[in-house]
Amino acid sequence: MRQSELEAILKDHKLWIQSGGKQGKRANLQDVNLQDANLQDADLYDANLQFANLQDVNLQDANLQDANLYGANLVGADLRCANLHGANIARAYLHNANLYGANLTGANLVGANLVGAKFTTNFKKVRWFNFATFSEDQLPWVVLHPSYPKWAGTIKWVKAKQLSA
């Protein structure tokens, strides 16, 4: 997708948000290749990013609240301080994504691949993460989650040496 097309979609989406859906158009970026795009500070509230390629995208400080990121490729994405409150990130690929300071309140990470993703105690606010895949270095954060005992048997763990393979 060309930058001019993306900017037009974001402009329409902003108008849609500001008008309560009466003007503009909700961003539909389903299946779109946005690899390496700069979406820093973008307002993607309630946007459809299902199965989008967001590999290595800069989403720092972006608003992804209630966005549909189901099956999206977020490998290497920079999500520092992004708002993922209530976002659907089920079955997404978050290898080496930077989630430091991201708002993960109510996020759905069911079946997501989080191997090598960087997060802190913000992980405690994730609503669901059963059937997700983590690397062993993430063990301290995952076991601190209140729902860990309930989903422990569904989680897949990958050894740190497998990360580079």
- Measured CA to CA, the distance from residue 81 to residue 161 in angstroms comes to 28
**87 or 10, greater pLDDT:** 10
Tens of pLDDT, residue by residue over 115-128, are: 888 877 778 888 88
- Is a pLDDT exceeding 60 seen at residue 162? no
What's the rounded Cα separation, in Å, for the pair 120 and 103?
Answer: 11
Domains of the chain listed by start with CATH number: 28-165 (2.160.20.80)
pTM: 0.84
User: In what helix (H) or strand (E) does residue 158 lie, and over which residues does it extend?
Assistant: strand 156-158
Q: What is the pLDDT of residue 60?
A: 92
Mean local confidence (pLDDT), 129-155: 91
User: Residue 63: beta bridge partners?
Assistant: 43, 83
